[in-house]
């Protein structure tokens, strides 16, 4: 049990799911404090059976706060996290800002829970598309050592926030009515379309989203030798990211062995019966916390390849749920990290 937990970004799409999870999972905190931008200050937000007023985020917001979960843009995290750490608060941060900092553990609890103990006040939660891929890679890596991954993502608009979801809804209505579509979030119409760019361009021709999958995967699994090639695509799906993945291992795995390993891994559900048309889909994965895997087959173009399809709710396991799981571990096992002095 901890005294005070703060949720930063409590009024955002992911922040609201965090609040639902804290209530339904009965998070062990005596008090939960809600923080957001000044324009949201004073707004009542539901937390379980109660309504709690949002407070404006500022340096003194973390006085007396033991643990914080942050779901904010990178530039906000860059500002508020030091405020919190200076006041002795441990932060579970969902932004990309601290993920590749060598002093900050990047954690998926089912994959590298032990990394939490190395924190120095900050624990990062990975990118949504990375999280579901690494969940699938982990049992195969442990059994046969993953050498190379080729992944194509089909990422839902919810990953770009509430405004993006509204843009899909309004854009679809306009497209069906053969009217002009307004673009505010995406550079091109998203309705009835695919946009093969998520994030900013990088000098090597990849995007920032694609490079997150490369770099974060290696850090989480602790193996810089894993080769990853990613193509990230925004698709006109409301919620739930899908990925087509080819995993090449050092040692041969059959499809049956891969299926068994995946089915036995915590947080993964195997839905794999092609003849019965049974496989993961965004509409059935939405609202769930697991990673769903199907279409598991031995690749016919490489001797040690396993091809598969996975789907996960990107705002839950890809964001809110993963952060809450980290916070639950801290609340149960103590906030102290190996590289952190005790609060005085």
What is the pLDDT confidence band of residue 337, given thresholds at 50, 70 and 90? confident
Query: In sequence order, what DSSP letters do the residues of 178-246 get, joined into one string?
Result: T-PPP-SSSSS--TT--B---S-B-TTS-BHHHHHHHHHHHHHHT-TT-EEEEEEEE-S-SS-EEEEEE
Whole-number pLDDT of residue 340: 58
Same domain, 324 and 218: no
Query: Does residue 104 form part of some domain?
Result: no
- Return the CATH number at 272: 3.30.360.10
Instruction: Confirm if 122 and 85 have CB atoms less than 8 A apart.
Output: yes
- Report, as residue numbers or ranges, the catalytic residues: 128, 241
Give, rounded to a whole angstrom, the gap between the first and last alpha carbons of the chain: 19
Same domain, 136 and 224: yes
* Full-model pTM: 0.95
Query: Does residue 102 form part of some domain?
Result: no
Strand 305-312 and strand 291-298: the pairing is antiparallel
Angle formed by the axes of helices 128-144 and 255-263, nearest 10°? 120
Same domain, 146 and 294: yes
In this model, does residue 342 exceed pLDDT 70?
Answer: no
Whole-number pLDDT of residue 343: 47
Instruction: Confirm if 87 and 201 have CB atoms less than 8 A apart.
Output: no
Whole-number pLDDT of residue 336: 84
Query: Does residue 296 form part of some domain?
Result: yes
Query: Does residue 124 form part of some domain?
Result: no
Query: Does residue 114 form part of some domain?
Result: no
Same domain, 175 and 58: no
Same domain, 291 and 325: no
What is the pLDDT confidence band of residue 185, given thresholds at 50, 70 and 90? very high
Instruction: Confirm if 72 and 7 have CB atoms less than 8 A apart.
Output: no
Lowest mean pLDDT among 45-49, 91-95, 266-270: 45-49
Same domain, 141 and 285: yes
Lowest mean pLDDT among 35-39, 128-132, 139-143: 35-39
Whole-number pLDDT of residue 278: 98
Query: Does residue 325 form part of some domain?
Result: yes
Same domain, 22 and 74: yes
| Percent with pLDDT over 90 in the chain | 95
Query: Does residue 298 form part of some domain?
Result: yes
Same domain, 39 and 74: yes
Same domain, 146 and 54: no
Whole-number pLDDT of residue 344: 37
Range of the domain at 17: 2-97+319-333
Same domain, 305 and 156: yes
Average pLDDT for the chain? 96
| Percent with pLDDT over 70 in the chain | 98
């Amino acid at each position: 049990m901890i005294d005070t937990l703060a949720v930063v970004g409590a009024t955002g799409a992911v922040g609201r799911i965090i609040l639902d999870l804290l209530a339904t999972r009965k998070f062990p905190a005596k008090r939960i404090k809600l923080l957001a931008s000044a324009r949201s200050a004073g707004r009542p937000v539901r937390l379980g059976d109660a309504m709690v007023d949002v407070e404006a985020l500022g340096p003194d917001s973390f006085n007396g706060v033991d643990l914080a979960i942050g779901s904010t843009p990178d530039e906000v995290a860059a500002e508020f996290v030091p405020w919190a750490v200076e006041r002795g608060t441990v932060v579970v941060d969902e932004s990309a800002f601290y993920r590749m900092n060598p002093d900050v553990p990047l954690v998926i609890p089912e994959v590298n829970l032990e990394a939490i103990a190395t924190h120095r006040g900050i624990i990062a939660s990975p990118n949504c598309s990375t999280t579901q891929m690494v969940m699938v890679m982990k049992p195969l890596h442990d059994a046969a050592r993953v050498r190379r991954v080729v992944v194509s993502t089909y990422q839902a608009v919810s990953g770009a926030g509430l405004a993006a979801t509204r843009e899909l809804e309004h854009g679809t209505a306009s497209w069906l009515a053969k009217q002009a579509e307004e673009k505010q979030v995406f550079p091109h119409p998203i309705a009835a379309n695919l946009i093969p760019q998520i994030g900013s361009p990088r000098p090597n021709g990849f995007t920032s989203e694609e490079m997150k999958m490369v770099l974060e995967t290696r850090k989480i699994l602790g193996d810089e030798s894993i080769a990853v090639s990613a193509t990230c695509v925004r698709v006109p799906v409301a919620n739930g990211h899908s990925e087509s993945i080819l995993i090449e291992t050092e040692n041969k795995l059959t499809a049956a062995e891969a299926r068994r390993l995946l089915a036995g891994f915590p947080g993964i559900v195997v839905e794999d019966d092609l003849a019965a048309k049974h496989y993961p889909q965004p509409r059935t994965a939405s609202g769930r916390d697991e990673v769903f895997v199907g279409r598991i087959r031995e690749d016919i173009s490489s001797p040690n390849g396993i091809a598969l399809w996975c789907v996960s709710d990107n705002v839950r396991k890809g964001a809110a749920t993963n952060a809450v799981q980290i916070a639950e571990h801290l609340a149960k096992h103590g906030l102290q990290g190996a590289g952190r002095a005790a609060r005085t």
